[in-house]
């Protein structure tokens, strides 16, 4: 941009936006936004280009949607990077939300002068002057009053194209440093790639952007965007193909050790401020994935032809010779002994002829970059249909599992198991609930005063949840539901993903299967119960406490979704009565089937 002068392109964008229809919100002052934009447009030169109008209309709609979604999820801070003359802070001003507009002082000064002259209040906006080419963006934002413990949404619209790639990378990293759990970043890039026709169209368009007065400094290949985001600490969220093609991206914080806190870190960010963030890092981070093939080759002599990620840390390993394997790389926080325990359980299940995945090697556990690795045989099959037949089979298998009598003294089999892996790397339902209670406690400070009653409803529900720990124990799997079953051509199924299995209350494990069955209809509940009771007779105390066991995992999941910023508190709290009623109806039906 032209040093010392307000951004001409920002002025043009404001003029274009005047003609777009915008989504309405139950708060804010759209009229103030329009007054500002009209003031800017009156002095902005240039003719209107239809292609540009179409692009800017789509881009504006995209950023409006991301912003309104975030405001709905109760974020309390909006950061606008290269805010220009964007008037969203006026149009969508929401009580309790603070805006941080970060821009080059020349543009920002001009905008503030206009706001003052037009008598438009900007009390909800903190203006932060910065040149993105200089380091220190994170400090400047925090210096402007930004709270690094409160969730935010960051908008970076129409800015990246004017910055060189190294500057974009540094801006993205600094934004990650101030982003917290529940945060989102929306950014638009100028992208290349795609078919020759699309590529030519893009080039014509980029020439049009240059004609707005400022040179294009970066164009990113469409396919490289996720890598660019990941390398700067962000994880791209799935959005429509159309948006991706246009270079519009939504990301959430990725969970790697913070810069400056690990070996070789060069940043200035503090260590994780919250338990929730620590947990996200513990559960989600895997190191050294690029060298995993070499590790597998060196450890198992298995030539790797291809590695494909099936789930977080779970890889299908197509070998140069022989059938495919699965390599599970566990978080470093999960002790290697836990992976040894998984192997012990899988050995025992093979001995009992139980249809679980089988170990791929006599010595199936290794350590890669401090993380336990377990190799099993890849189970070729399909996802089960998920109807009555599937649930009867799963009920039958779960009953068989719970009827096994593991030998006393087998440490892997006796370890506490059955806790949900998103909150406990290895543990039982007691620990699962304790972590959920602690996350919810920490989230309290993010709850706006207007929602405190909802928060208390959720906290009470969690406090009275039944972990079933005093009920009969068995060998349990934490997720005995269709996504962890693979259907074989002969009609059988194999249960996979035994990490987190161990000794736990059988009712909690059965409860989650019944909950999943109930989501498909009461007929599936009958089927699951019919299969299960072939092997296990539940005690009266278990039958009485079935409601709580059916509702337990769903409650923890909902609570977690709120705590990590994926769901609104109001949506979770409002859904509790229906969830309770659903669990009650499923439990009543299952009780009948067990009688």
Ligand X SMILES: C[S@@+](CC[C@H](N)C(=O)[O-])C[C@H]1O[C@@H](n2cnc3c(N)ncnc32)[C@H](O)[C@@H]1O
84 binds ligand X (CB under 6 A): yes
Q: How far is CA 513 from CA 38, 80, 342, 481, in A?
A: 59, 45, 21, 6
Question: Which of 108/232 has CB closer to ligand X?
Answer: 108
Residue from 28, 75, 82, 474 in contact with ligand X (CB under 6 A): 82
Question: What are the φ and ψ backbone dihedral angles of 107, each rounded to 5 degrees?
Answer: -70, -45
Element (H, E) at 430: helix 429-443
Stretch binding ligand X (CB under 6 A), from 27-35, 154-162, 173-181, 302-310: 154-162
Of residues 86 through 115, those in contact with ligand X by CB under 6 A are: 86, 103-104, 107
**Minimum CB–partner distance for residue 65 and ligand X (Å):** 14
* Number of residues engaging ligand X in binding (CB under 6 A): 20
For CA atoms 386, 391, 396, 402, give the dihedral sign.
positive
Residue from 16, 162, 325, 330 in contact with ligand X (CB under 6 A): 162
Stretch binding ligand X (CB under 6 A), from 30-38, 81-89, 283-291, 568-576: 81-89
Residue from 159, 339, 435, 436 in contact with ligand X (CB under 6 A): 159
Taking CB atoms, the residue at the shortest distance from ligand X is: 84
For CA atoms 291, 296, 298, 299, give the dihedral sign.
positive
Residue 483: CB partners within 8 Å, gap ≥ 6?
A: 383
What 110-116 contacts at long range (C-beta under 8 Å, 24+ apart), as own/partner pairs, is 110/6, 111/6, 111/36, 111/83, 111/84, 111/85, 114/36, 114/39, 114/40, 114/85, 115/36
Stretch binding ligand X (CB under 6 A), from 77-85, 117-125, 256-264, 409-417: 77-85
Work out the angle between the directed axes of helices 546-563 and 429-443 (0-180°, nearest 10).
40
Is 128 buried (19+), middle (13-18) or exposed (0-12) by CB count in 10 A?
Answer: buried
Question: Which of 114/582 has CB closer to ligand X?
Answer: 114
**Minimum CB–partner distance for residue 152 and ligand X (Å):** 16
132 binds ligand X (CB under 6 A): yes
Residue from 144, 158, 478, 565 in contact with ligand X (CB under 6 A): 158
How many other C-beta atoms lie within 10 A of the C-beta of residue 7?
26
Question: Which of 103/526 has CB closer to ligand X?
Answer: 103
Cα gap 12→85, rounded to integer Å? 9
Question: Which of 133/537 has CB closer to ligand X?
Answer: 133
Question: Which of 77/503 has CB closer to ligand X?
Answer: 77
**Minimum CB–partner distance for residue 38 and ligand X (Å):** 15
Cα gap 461→463, rounded to integer Å? 5
**Minimum CB–partner distance for residue 116 and ligand X (Å):** 18
**Minimum CB–partner distance for residue 5 and ligand X (Å):** 10
**Minimum CB–partner distance for residue 75 and ligand X (Å):** 18
Cα gap 325→293, rounded to integer Å? 12
Residue from 40, 83, 474, 481 in contact with ligand X (CB under 6 A): 83
Pairing of strands 485-487, 473-476: unpaired
Cα gap 258→179, rounded to integer Å? 11
128 binds ligand X (CB under 6 A): no
**Minimum CB–partner distance for residue 246 and ligand X (Å):** 14
**Minimum CB–partner distance for residue 27 and ligand X (Å):** 20
Of residues 6 through 35, those in contact with ligand X by CB under 6 A are: 7, 9-10, 13
203-242 per-residue burial string, b: 16 or more CB within 10 A, e: under 16? eeebeebeebbbeeeebbebeebeebbeebbbebeebeee
Which residues form the interface with ligand X (CB under 6 A)? 1, 7, 9-10, 13, 82-84, 86, 103-104, 107, 130-133, 157-159, 162
């Amino acid at each position: 941009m032209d040093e010392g002068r307000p951004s001409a392109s920002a002025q043009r964008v404001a003029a274009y936006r005047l003609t777009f229809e915008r989504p309405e919100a139950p708060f804010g002052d759209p009229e103030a936004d329009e007054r500002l934009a009209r003031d800017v447009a009156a002095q902005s030169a240039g003719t209107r280009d239809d292609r540009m109008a179409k692009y800017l209309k789509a881009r504006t709609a995209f950023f409006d949607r991301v912003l309104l979604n975030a405001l709905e999820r109760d974020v309390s801070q909006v950061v606008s990077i290269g805010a220009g003359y964007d008037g969203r802070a006026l149009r969508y001003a929401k009580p309790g939300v603070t805006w941080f507009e970060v821009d080059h002082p020349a543009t920002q000064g001009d905008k503030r002068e206009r706001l003052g002259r037009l008598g438009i209040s900007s009390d909800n906006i903190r203006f932060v002057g910065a040149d993105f080419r200089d380091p220190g963006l994170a400090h400047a934002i925090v210096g402007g009053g930004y709270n690094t413990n409160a969730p935010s949404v960051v908008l970076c619209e129409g800015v990246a194209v004017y910055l060189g790639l190294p500057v974009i990378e540094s801006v993205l990293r600094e934004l990650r440093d101030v982003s917290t759990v529940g945060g989102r970043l929306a950014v638009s890039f100028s992208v290349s790639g795609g078919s020759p026709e699309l590529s030519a169209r893009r080039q014509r368009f980029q020439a049009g952007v240059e004609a707005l007065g400022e040179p294009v400094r970066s164009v990113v290949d469409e396919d490289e965007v996720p890598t660019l985001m990941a390398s700067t600490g962000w994880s791209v969220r799935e959005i429509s193909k159309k948006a991706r093609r246009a270079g519009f991206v939504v990301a959430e914080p990725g969970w790697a050790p913070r810069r400056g806190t690990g070996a070789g870190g060069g940043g200035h960010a503090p260590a994780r401020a919250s338990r929730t963030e620590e947990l996200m890092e513990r559960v989600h981070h895997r190191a050294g994935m690029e060298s995993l093939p070499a590790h597998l080759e060196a450890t198992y002599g298995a030539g790797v032809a291809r590695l494909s990620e099936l789930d977080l840390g779970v890889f299908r390993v197509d070998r140069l010779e022989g059938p495919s394997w699965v390599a599970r790389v566990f978080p470093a926080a999960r002790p290697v002994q836990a992976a040894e325990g998984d192997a012990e359980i899988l050995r025992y299940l093979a001995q009992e002829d139980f249809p679980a995945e089988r170990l791929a090697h006599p010595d199936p556990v290794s350590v890669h970059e401090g993380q336990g690795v377990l190799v099993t045989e890849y189970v070729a099959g399909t996802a089960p249909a998920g109807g009555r037949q599937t649930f009867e089979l799963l009920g039958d298998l779960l009953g068989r599992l719970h009827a096994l009598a593991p030998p006393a003294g087998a440490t892997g089999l006796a370890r506490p198991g059955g806790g949900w892996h998103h909150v406990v790397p290895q543990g039982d339902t007691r620990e699962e609930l304790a972590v959920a209670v602690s996350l919810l406690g920490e989230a309290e400070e993010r709850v706006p005063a207007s929602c405190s009653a909802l928060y208390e409803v959720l906290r009470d529900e969690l406090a009275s949840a039944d972990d079933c720990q005093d009920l009969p124990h068995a060998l349990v799997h934490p997720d005995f539901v269709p996504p962890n079953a693979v259907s074989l051509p002969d009609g059988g199924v194999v249960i996979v993903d035994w990490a987190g299995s161990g000794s736990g209350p059988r009712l909690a494990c059965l409860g989650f299967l019944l909950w999943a069955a109930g989501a498909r209809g009461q007929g599936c509940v009958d089927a699951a119960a019919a299969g299960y009771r072939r092997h296990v007779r539940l005690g009266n105390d278990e039958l009485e406490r079935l409601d709580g066991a059916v509702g337990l995992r769903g409650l923890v999941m909902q609570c977690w979704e709120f705590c990590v910023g994926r769901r609104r508190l109001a949506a979770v709290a409002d859904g509790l009565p229906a969830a309770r009623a659903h669990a009650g109806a499923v439990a009543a039906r299952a009780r009948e089937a067990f009688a």
